[in-house]
Amino acid sequence: KAGVTQTPRYLIKTRGQQVTLSCSPISGHRSVSWYQQTPGQGLQFLFEYFSETQRNKGNFPGRFSGRQFSNSRSEMNVSTLELGDSALYLCASSLDLSGTLKSYEQYFGPGTRLTVT
Amino acid sequence: GNSVTQMEGPVTLSEEAFLTINCTYTATGYPSLFWYVQYPGEGLQLLLKATKADDKGSNKGFEATYRKETTSFHLEKGSVQVSDSAVYFCALSESAGGTSYGKLTFGQGTILTVHP
């Protein structure tokens, strides 16, 4: 079974621009979560989507947004990029079946490395 | 809110040495606990997990026991190998009826380097 895929793997943008990152979960997985990883702040939760609805949200400004499609694929968007948005953005998916604890395990993609100049 | 604290790193060991990476947590509910590993240039891989008190998670020679009384989940391995060199993250997620399974709270990570 194919793992979580993220595109693109690397991205360079300029301050003020916007960017869209894509995540394809493992086939059959229904929940997708996004995390930001930086040397200073570590791994921080951005948001989680389940059945096309945002179910959880972290403490990030409104410039960070996301969505999930009917096939569970997800995108996240960052508008008006700042230098501090340079980070590795990780996507994780889980099966998420009520009553099955194992199904909540999250599987991570390789990440998208975003550099803002 | 929830938080996870890992021991300061980096940790440098010789091959076949004993490894301990300390992890303590603060949670409002009854969380599930995880250890993830990240190799250079890759995403995170789930190493092991425990979902209730006194559970022991184990995988690839690594072990960690969910200690509710000390709110800890320390990672141990009896004999490390060069291939274990990576960054290790302790994490928790809320459970027991909540809707927060998809939100992991991570520790700051511990860099492990194993020399031959």
Per-residue three-class SS string for B58-90: EECCEEEECECCCCECCEEECCCCHHHCEEEEE
Return d(Cα A42, Cα A88) in angstroms, integer: 10
- pLDDT for the residue B96: 45
How many CA atoms are closer than 13 Å to the CA of A44, on its beta-carbon side? 15
B73-92 confidence digits (pLDDT tens): 999 999 999 999 999 999 99
Q: What angle do CA A78, A10, A65 make, to 5 degrees?
A: 15
B31 close to A (CB below 8 A): no
A89 touches chain B (CB under 8 A): no
State pLDDT tens for residues A19-57: 999 999 999 998 999 999 999 899 999 999 988 999 889
Chain-centroid distance of CA B57 in Å reads 10
CB B106, CB A42: distance < 8 Å: yes
Q: How far is A60 from chain B (nearest CA, A)?
A: 14
Judged against a pLDDT cut of 50, whether residue B95 lies above it is answered with yes
E strand spans, A1-117: 5-7, 10-13, 19-24, 31-38, 42-50, 53-57, 64-68, 74-78, 87-94, 107-108, 112-116
Which of chain A's residues have a Cβ under 8 Å away from the Cβ of B101? 31, 94, 96, 104
Helix (H), strand (E) at residue B104: strand B104-106
Residue of B nearest to A89 (CA): B43
B100 pLDDT above the threshold of 60: no
What is the per-residue pLDDT for B29?
75
pLDDT digits (tens, 9 = 90+) for A54-94: 988 999 999 999 999 999 999 999 999 999 999 999 999 98
| Identity of the amino acid at A103 | S
User: Is residue B99 less than 8 Å (CB to CB) from chain A?
Assistant: yes
Q: Does B6 touch chain A (CB under 8 A)?
A: no
CB of B2 less than 8 A from some CB of A: no
Q: Per-residue pLDDT tens for B2-45?
A: 899 998 789 999 999 999 999 999 988 778 899 999 998 888 99
To test the contact with chain A by mutation, choose from B30, B32, B104 the residue with the greatest count of A C-beta atoms within 10 A, namely B104
Radius of gyration of chain A (CA): 14
A57 Cα to chain B: minimum distance (Å): 8
Residue B34's closest CA among A55, A31, A24, A94?
Answer: A94
